[in-house]
Chain A
Amino acid sequence: MKHVKFTLNGKPFEREVLEHRTLLHFLREDLGYTGTKEGCGAGECGACTVIMNGEAVNSCLVLAAELDGAKLETIEGEAAADGSLTILQDSFDKHHAVQCGYCTAGMIMSAKDLLRRNAHPDRHAVIEGIEGNFCRCTGYEQIIEAILDAADNGAAAEIAERTKGGDNA
């Protein structure tokens, strides 16, 4: 076992973790944070994307033991406690960018990371931003439109504001 201290969506955590546990399984099975999904378990689909120390990563290829000192952001940190959605989430809703929803948590985390790096991405930058995320339902078009529209509606500023407030990082 390894002792790790980290923050998850702004909240401090301290845990003993199994040394061979992936971050993905730690989140889902040990912490009960099941918003992050497992698709392939091998880096290919992006369903497990979380943001670790400000960078999008595939949590299926990270060990929980690597968490010591880390700042982690997952989908559970997005909507407010009262259920109100972020601009980005709202845009996914409006544009029907969600069908089965299995890819959505990963898509939102990749899109959030993209908007942090680039507040006004063009279509090409959006496509590149979600290159590591599979969606088997939507055909991507609605997702691309949702992200572009969210950017036009101030999603990047909202993300920056929430980050500053310690809300999610």
Chain B
Amino acid sequence: MLHDFSYHRPSSMKEALDFLAQNGPKTAVFSGGTDLFVVIRAGVAKPAHVLDLKGIPELGKISWDKTEGLSVGACVTINTLTEYPAVREHFPVLRSAGEELATFQLRNRATMVGNVVTASPCGDMGSPLMVLGGEVVLASSSGERRMPLSEFITGVKRTLIRPDEVVSRIVVPPTWAGAVGGYHKLKRIKGHDLGVVAVAMVRKENTIRCAISSAAPTPVLLPDLAATSSVEDVQKKAQSMISPIDDVRCTKEYRSFMVDIFIKRLMKELEAAA
């Protein structure tokens, strides 16, 4: 059973933003609802209103352009994203991570935007978006702002979003288009569990970029490394930047250990693919 809230489905951005300007603090916006209705059901969130973004046509759009890059609207589902030809062609790391997220049914509803707004340390889209330099576009009735995902996510389930704002889309600049890439995730069972720890990596020309999930309050992006770096160098850098904890899913030692293993596997894999 869910508590008694009212349901709104605006059909334009203006209507949605006007509503949030008035009712923002008492409202939860949603697209897939695969995070929101779980926390509502658990009594953790008690919004007076829920605002369904799926009636706003522009938020359902995904597009690719050589200059702007990839633009993914707030209501684009993970299944649409991983099937999208430009994602398959230019950003294999996004596809690899998207396919690891939850289950097929959930991916028919879950969105990349919802995933990063939830800002769970074990969310699957944070680290791949960080290696690609993904940016979040926020809209409110007073205008638009845009910031790198690495600034947007500030802590465990904390972001810089204001109650009167929505994330309208995520933009992935073309900088890393064509990079070979992969995402390795440790979990107990596919679909029924969030990641225990995960590593995203891309490699283009002479550079490697790597980010780690579930090993600190936010995804950790390592500084760019030369493609000629040794596995040990990358592992050492990673270990100096993560701060894994013990929790119900595993110990911090196991997390650290698996970060090293995934770095080794990914470096091999990307070297072979490059």
| Residues in B neighbouring A56, C-beta threshold 8 A | 104-105, 108
Does A34 make an interface contact (CB < 8 A)? no
The residue in chain B whose Cβ has the minimal distance to the Cβ of A25 is B1
**Is the Cβ of A132 less than 8 Å from the Cβ of B7?**
no
- CA–CA, A147 and B105, complex, Å: 18
The answer, yes or no, to whether A141 is at the interface (CB within 8 Å) is: no
Contact: A46 with B105, CB < 8 Å? yes
Min CB–CB distance B210 → chain A (angstroms):
28
Task: Report how far A63 CA is from B6 CA in the complex, Å.
Answer: 11
Tell me which of A44, A61, A131, A134 contacts B37 (CB under 8 A): A61
| 1-56 of chain A: CB within 8 A of chain B | 2, 19-22, 25, 41-44, 46, 49, 55-56
Pairwise interchain contact A61-B109, C-beta atoms closer than 8 A: yes
> Does the CB pair A55–B108 fall under 8 Å?
yes
In the bound complex, what is the Cα–Cα distance between A56 and B105 (angstroms)? 5
Chain B residue with Cβ nearest A46: B105
Q: Is B66 on the interface with A (CB-CB < 8 A)?
A: no
**Is residue B52 within 8 Å, beta carbon to beta carbon, of the partner chain?**
yes
Inter-chain contact B33/A63, CB cutoff 8 Å? yes
Which of chain B's residues have a CB closer than 8 A to the CB of A43? 34, 38, 102, 106
Most buried by B among A2, A63, A65, A134: A63
Distance of B115 from chain A, by nearest CB (Å): 14
Q: Would you give the 0/1 interface string for B94-110, flagging 1 where the beta carbon is closer than 8 Å to chain A?
A: 00000000111110110
Residues of A within 8 Å of B32, CB to CB, are 61
Q: Tell me the smallest distance from the CB of A143 to a CB of chain B, in Å.
A: 15
A57 within 8 A of B: yes
Please tell me if A104 contacts chain B, counting CB pairs below 8 Å: no
**What residues of B have a CB within 8 angstroms of the CB of A61 in the complex?**
32-34, 37-38, 106, 109
Q: Which residue of B lies closest to A48 (CB)?
A: B105
A121 and B225 alpha carbons, distance in the complex (Å): 42
Give, as a whole number of angstroms, the nearest-CB distance from A108 to chain B. 13
Chain A residues contacting B4 (CB-CB under 8 Å) are: 19-20
Write the nearest CB–CB distance from A31 to chain B, whole angstroms.
Answer: 17
C-alpha spacing A21/B3, complex, angstroms: 9
> A91 interface residue, CB < 8 Å from B?
no
B188 adjacent to chain A (CB < 8 Å): no
* A58 x B105 contact (CB < 8 A): yes
For B3, B37, B102, the residue with the greatest tally of chain A CB atoms inside 10 Å of its CB is B37
Say yes or no: B3 contacts A20, CB within 8 Å. Answer: yes
Q: Say whether B84 faces chain A, with CB atoms less than 8 Å apart.
A: no
User: Distance in Å from the Cβ of B29 to the closest Cβ of chain A?
Assistant: 13
Tell whether, in the assembled complex, residue B104 and residue A128 are in contact, meaning their CB atoms are under 8 Å apart.
yes
Closest to A64 in B: B7
B190 within 8 A of partner (CB): yes
B2 part of interface (Cβ distance < 8 Å): yes
Within 8 A of A (CB), among B15-43: 32-34, 37-38, 41-42
Supposing A43-B34, A61-B34, A61-B37 touch, asked if A22 and B108 sit within 8 A by C-beta, the answer is no
Give residues in A with beta carbon < 8 Å to B. 2, 19-22, 25, 41-44, 46, 49, 55-58, 60-63, 65-66, 68, 110, 128-129, 131-132, 134
B residues contacting A by CB (< 8 A) are 1-7, 9, 32-34, 37-38, 41-42, 50, 52, 54, 102-106, 108-109, 190-192
